[in-house]
Amino acid sequence: MDRSERLGRSKVGRLINAYGLPRLIITAFLLLLFILAPVAGADFATQISNVIARFSWNAVLVLAMVPMIHSGCGLNFGIQLGILAGLLGGTLSIELGFTGFPCFLMAILISTPFALLFGGGYGVLLNRIKGGEMMVATYVGFSSVSFMCMLWLFLPYKNPNIVMAYTGEGLKQTIPLNNFYAGVLSDLWKIDLNSIGVNLVIPTGAILFFALLALGMWAFLHTKTGTAMTAVGSNPTFAKASGVNIDRSRTLSVMLSTWLGAVGILVYQQGFGFAQAYTAPLNMALPAVSAILIGGASVNKASISNVIIGTFLFQGLVTMTPTVMNSALNVGDMSEVIRVIVSQGMILYALTRKTEGSK
C-alpha cells in the first residue's frame, strides 16, 4: 500500500499505475524480443506475419471474455462449453456435406442453438452461485469436456473424413480441415508481399471478421440491454433499484460469451487448419483468460481495446519467445516456461488485487 502510494506521487509512477506494472514489463519484454529478433537471425517480417496470423486465430476467443466480465460473472474459465458447441457445429456441418465457405457459415449456424442451450443452462447455474463463479466455471468446463469425450466416441458420425479410420465409428482426434473450411477467412482478401520479396502475409478476412464482431460487441454494450448488463456488473444494488432484472442480464451475458466461444473456436480452427476433439479443449480457457488480463482488463472491468492489446501481447509472447530464444540462446523449452510463468502470473495478479473488492 505504502509503496504504491509513493509510486503514485511521481509523474512516472502515475503513468505506470495507469498502464499497470505487469503490462509494462510484458510490453518491454516484447519490444526487446522484436529488437533481438534480427540479431538472432530471425526474419523480422516473418515474425510480424506470425504474430498477426495468431492474433487473427485467437482474438474472437478472447473477445468472448468481455460480456461475462461486464455483467460481473468474472473471468469465463468455462469457455470450453462454447468451444464444444463450436466443435459440434463444425463437425455436423462437415457431416452434412458442406465444403468451403458455406461449410463455415453452416458451422456457425448449427453451433448457435447448442451455444445458446449450453450458455443458458450454464448461466442459470451461475446465477445460483453468485460470488463463486470462477471456480465452478473451471470445473463445469472440465467436466463437460470429459463428458463430451465419451459422446464423441458414440455419436453416429458417418462421414469418412471425420471418423476414425479403422473402426469407422467415433470422431477422429484431429480432423484436417483443408477440404472444408480451413483458411476460408484467412485467405479471403489476403495481402501477400512475397511477390516483392518480403515474407509478410496479412489475413485480412479473418481480421475483418474479428473487427466486425468487436464492433458488434461495442455497439451492443452501448444499447439499453448492454448498459443494463454493465450496471449489473459494476453495482448490482443500483441496477436492481433501477428495475434491471439481474439474473436475466447475467444469463444473457453468459449465453453471449458462450456463443462467441463457439464462433471463436471455429475461427481458430479455420486458421489452424485442424479441428481438435476429445481432451484438446480442456486447456483452451487459460490462454484466453490471461490474454485479456495482459491487455489490462481486471476481474470486473474489460473493454474491446483490452482484447486487442492483450491478444497481440500474448500471441507476440507465444510466437516470438521460441524463435528468439532458440536461435539466440539455444535453449529449447525455455520459451514454454516463460509463457507459463507470465500468463499464470498475470491471472494470479488479477485475482489478488485488493482494489477489486471481494464479493
Which residues form the interface with other proteins (CB under 8 A)? 77, 125, 128-132, 134-136, 138-140, 142-143, 146-147, 149-150, 153, 170, 286, 331, 333-334, 336-337, 340-341, 344-345, 347-348, 351-354, 358-359
Report the residue number, 40 or 286, with the smaller CB distance to other proteins: 286
Grid cell locating 296 = 489490462
CB of 300 to other proteins, least distance (A): 12
Report the residue number, 108 or 134, with the smaller CB distance to other proteins: 134
CB of 325 to other proteins, least distance (A): 11
160 alpha-carbon distance from chain centroid: 31
Report the residue number, 22 or 273, with the smaller CB distance to other proteins: 22
CB of 279 to other proteins, least distance (A): 8
Burial class (CB in 10 A: 0-12, 13-18, 19+), 175: buried
Report the residue number, 170 or 296, with the smaller CB distance to other proteins: 170
CA of 243: how far to CAs of 57, 225, 227, 231, 248, in Å?
A: 39, 12, 13, 11, 12
Report the residue number, 235 or 305, with the smaller CB distance to other proteins: 235
CB of 162 to other proteins, least distance (A): 17
Cβ-based neighbour number of residue 178 at 10 Å: 9
Nearest 5°: phi and psi at 192?
Answer: -120, 115
Report the residue number, 173 or 235, with the smaller CB distance to other proteins: 173
Whether 263 contacts 108, CB under 8 Å: yes
Grid cell locating 114 = 447448442
CB of 224 to other proteins, least distance (A): 28
Nearest 5°: phi and psi at 120?
Answer: -60, -50
CB of 171 to other proteins, least distance (A): 12
3-state secondary structure of 293: helix
CB of 155 to other proteins, least distance (A): 13
Report the residue number, 3 or 11, with the smaller CB distance to other proteins: 3
Whether 71 contacts 249, CB under 8 Å: yes
Cα separation, 137 vs 30, whole angstroms:
31
Nearest 5°: phi and psi at 130?
Answer: -50, 135
